[in-house]
Amino acid sequence: MELWDLYDKNEQRTGEVFERTHGSFFNIPEGRFHLVCDILVQHMDGTYLLTKRHPGKDVYPGYWEASAGGSALQGEDPLTCAKRELYEETGIQSENFELVNKVFRDQSHSLLYCFLTVVDCPKDSVVLQEGETVEYKWVDAQGLIEYAESDLAIRTSVERYKKIYDKVRAELAGQGGGADYGEAGADGANSRETGVDGADANAATDAGTENAAGAASPKPNVSYRKLTEVDLQEFIRIRINQLREEGATQDIDLVPALLDYYHRHMADGTFVSWLAVDGDKIVGTSGMSFVEKPPYFSCPSGKIGLLSSMYTNPNYRRLGIAKQLLSHVVEEARAFGCGCVQITASDMGVLLYTDFGFKKNGNFMQYNF
C-alpha cells in the first residue's frame, strides 16, 4: 500500500492522506495535490541520463524520459523523495540537488519539484528498477536536444526543464548561456500546467489568430503521442464536445461511462488513441477500438478496427493534423492484426477518408489492409 500526503495550492500539507491505486490520481479531491519529484541527471563528463519507462506504467508507458523520479511517500519532504527515487530507479546516490522548477499539474493533481543533480558515478553502474524502467543510455548535449525535439520525448517534462534545454542549446550554438538556473521557473514564480481550458504558458494565442499588434501568430509546434490515463479527463471533455457539435442533444452524464470504458480497454489493449499536442495542449484526437467477429471472406482474421474520436481543434485545421492522426491509428490497427478499419464518417470527414483510401461500404466507410 502506497500512501501520499496531500497539499494545497500554497504547497502546505493539509493533513489528508491518499492511498494510491492504478490511475487513482483522478480521485484526488479538487484543490488537492500530491508531491512528485523529477530529477534530471547530468554526469560530470557533460552527458545526460535517459531512461525508458516500463510499458506497464499508467502514465506515458514505454516513453523515454530525461529524468528519474516519482511520488513522495507519506512523511517525505521533496529532497528526501528526490534522493530515494533517484536511488530506487537508477541505483545512483547523490547529495547534490539543485531545484530548477516547481510546477502544479492540474490534470494529475500533482505538485512537481524539478531537480538537477550532477554525479560522478561509473556510467555502467546504473541499476534499473523493476516495474519502473527497462532501458537506459547516456547522451551528450546534442543527443539531449535531439531527444527533446523528437516525438519520443514527454513534452510536459521537457517544458518543466526548459531553462536547462535553452542553456544547452545556447552552449551548443556558442552563445555561452551561463546564467544560474535559480529556483522555480524562469522568473522565480511557480509554473502551472493546465489542460486545454487553462492558460498555456507555451502559446499566448491560438494558431490562426492574430496577436494584439495585428501580426500573424507563429506556426504551432504540433507533435504526436499516444493517449495516457493522465490525459483522460481532457480527452473525454473533447469527446463530449465533439458529440454535441455533431448534434447530440441527450442530457446524460457520459463521463463515468466513458472513463470506465477507456480505463478497461486501454488496460487490455483493445483501445488506443493518438493525440496531436501543441506544448501541453491537446489540439487533435483520434481513437481506435479493436473488436473481433467470426472471420469472413473480406476479413479473414475477423479483427476489425473501429475508428472514432477524430477531431481537430478549429484553430488548428488545414495543417494536416487529421491525416497524421489517422495514419498513426490505422497503423495501430494493422499491428493488431485487423483485416479492415471502419468508420461512420461525417460529411466533413468523407474527403479525408476517401483520400486516405477508405471506400463506401453501406452505411459506413471501410479501409482494407
pLDDT for 348 equals: 56
Indicate whether 141 pLDDT > 60: yes
Q: Whose CA is closest to 109, among 42, 28, 202, 1?
A: 28
Angular region, 131: left φ>0, alpha ψ -120 to 50, beta rest: left
Tell me if the domain spanning 2-193 has CATH number 3.50.50.60. Answer: no
Contact (Cβ atoms closer than 8 angstroms) between residue 50 and residue 44: no
Angular region, 159: left φ>0, alpha ψ -120 to 50, beta rest: alpha
177 confidence band (pLDDT: 50, 70, 90): very low
Least confident of 212-221, 238-247, 322-331: 212-221
57 vs 191 pLDDT, higher one: 57
CA dihedral 163, 164, 169, 175 (to 10 degrees): 80
Q: 338 burial class (0-12, 13-18, 19+ CB within 10 angstroms)?
A: buried
CA distance 343 to 366: 7
Torsion sign over Cα 128, 131, 132, 134? positive
Residue with cell 495543417: 319
Contact (Cβ atoms closer than 8 angstroms) between residue 307 and residue 323: no
Give me the mean pLDDT over the 132-141 stretch: 91
Tell me if the domain spanning 222-368 has CATH number 3.40.50.300. Answer: no
194 confidence band (pLDDT: 50, 70, 90): very low
Q: Please tell me whether residue 214 adopts helix, strand or coil conformation.
A: coil
- Grid cell listed for 254: 457520459
Least confident of 111-115, 121-125, 163-167, 355-359: 355-359
In Å, how far are 97, 149, 162 from 165, measured between CA atoms?
17, 10, 5
Indicate whether 209 pLDDT > 50: no
pTM of the predicted structure, to 2 decimals: 0.51
140 vs 205 pLDDT, higher one: 140
**Which range has the top average pLDDT, 22-31, 325-334, 347-356?**
325-334
Domain boundaries, the chain: 2-193, 222-368
Helix axes 232-245, 255-267, angle to 10 degrees: 120
Contact (Cβ atoms closer than 8 angstroms) between residue 69 and residue 24: no
Give me the mean pLDDT over the 88-105 stretch: 92
One-letter amino acid at 141 equals: A
pLDDT for 212 equals: 33
Which residues sit opposite 253 in a β-bridge?
Answer: none
CA atoms within 13 A on the CB side of 114: 28
CA distance 105 to 172: 31
Least confident of 50-64, 115-129, 193-207, 307-321: 193-207
